[in-house]
Amino acid sequence: MVSDEAERHRGPAEAGGLQLEVHANEPTVVRGSARDLSLMIRNLVQNAVQYTRPGGRIDVRVAAEDGEAVLTISDSGIGIPARELRRIFERFYRVDRARSRETGGTGLGLSIVKHVAEIRHAVTDVTGKRLSGRTPGIHLSPEGRRQAEALAERLSGVPIAALYSSPLERCAETAGVIGEGRGLTVQLLPQLEEVAYGRWTGRPLAQLTRTSLWTKIQQSPSSVRFPEGETLSEVQRRAVEALDGVGARHPRGVVAAVSHADVIRLVLAHYAGVHLDLFQRLIVSPASVSAVALGDRVPRILRMNDTGTLEDMGARRRPPPKKGS
């Protein structure tokens, strides 16, 4: 992969009078997203080519050291002043405007960190049947446990720096499966707890869908307060504040936060600039991953409702017609 990305930039490098050398004496294996790793390498090599003057040299080295893969890209380019190093991970940041005009474009810089992965818990025995809300004692079902294990496998290549969860059992158990083998302690965050549905908590969904309040929630959810419970704007505010705080505490790396469908949908609506009345157009499935890049001026949604499969998009098969009909 490193060689492929270096070769991709060999033409522009030679055209600019640069010497580009790759040093990879032995195969080095990294477990992770090929797409994201390729993008990271490409970004670094491209920066080296773009900011090295004619006659300069770029060396790309990859090696295994103490059981870890180490990628080093060095060049004889113009460099970055020490006072600016703290800002190199900001998107679209340039050391100075004159340099931007000289090299052209705005680019991605090196902003490849500080992502918050919002994860919905796996299924329980009452998922889709009752409005569980904050009912205590609802645990993952056997199917939910399998979903959580598959989710942990999908995330195995992601270097999670910290792991947060709603205090409810179904979320904490999902987070626990993700954290197994990582040495991460699940930190409970009350602001990520399920919506306080008040008197609606625990009632069958089939019953609730026949109420006038349900109709109002579908039409104008921002105007509704659940009976003896919260408004959705209150939920959105507390959850966004919590995630912004998590981002501030972890300025580098990926942080995972396990929560509930409506909470995650409200958070995604906020970061996407979608009015709260339209948040139900967003779908968040059990054991799905949604990812938001924080830390610069404009949050960016990188993933939404990623379940690792397209099975949920398959049309339901209609039963075959009866003979003689």
Q: Are residues 40 and 121 in the same domain?
A: no
The answer to whether residue 325 is domain-embedded is no
CA distances from 220 to 109, 232, 276 (A): 41, 11, 9
CA distance linking residue 180 with residue 257, whole number of Å: 15
Residue 168 belongs to a domain with what CATH number? 3.40.50.1240
Q: Which tens digits make up the pLDDT trace of 118-150?
A: 899 999 999 999 999 999 999 999 999 999 999
Q: Are residues 54 and 127 in the same domain?
A: no
What total of structural domains would you count in the chain? 2
Residue 12 belongs to a domain with what CATH number? 3.30.565.10
Q: Are residues 22 and 126 in the same domain?
A: no
Last residue of one domain, picked from the residues 57, 79, 101: 79
The three-state secondary structure class of 167 is coil
Q: Are residues 75 and 19 in the same domain?
A: yes
The answer to whether residue 25 is domain-embedded is yes
How many Cβ atoms are within 10 Å of 4's Cβ, its own excluded?
11
CA 209 distance to own-chain centroid = 32
The answer to whether residue 95 is domain-embedded is no
CA distance linking residue 299 with residue 116, whole number of Å: 10
Enclosing domain of residue 59: 2-79
Last residue of one domain, picked from the residues 54, 79, 104: 79
Q: Which tens digits make up the pLDDT trace of 232-287?
A: 999 999 999 999 888 888 877 889 999 999 999 999 999 999 999 999 999 999 99
The answer to whether residue 59 is domain-embedded is yes
pTM score, whole prediction:
0.64
The answer to whether residue 323 is domain-embedded is no
**CB-based contact 159:31 (threshold 8 Å):** no
Q: Are residues 72 and 212 in the same domain?
A: no
Q: Which amino acid is present at 285? A: S
**Confidence (pLDDT) at 217:** 93
**Confidence (pLDDT) at 145:** 95
**Which residues of the chain carry a pLDDT beneath 70?**
31-36, 39, 78-114, 295-297, 312-325
The answer to whether residue 200 is domain-embedded is yes
CA distances from 27 to 49, 155, 235, 285, 292 (A): 25, 24, 49, 38, 33
The answer to whether residue 89 is domain-embedded is no
The answer to whether residue 41 is domain-embedded is yes
**Confidence (pLDDT) at 239:** 95
Provide φ and ψ at 131, rounded to 5°: -85, 90
**Confidence (pLDDT) at 273:** 93
Q: Are residues 167 and 293 in the same domain?
A: yes
Question: Phi/psi zone of residue 202: left (φ > 0), alpha (ψ -120 to 50 degrees), beta?
Answer: left
Q: Are residues 234 and 294 in the same domain?
A: yes
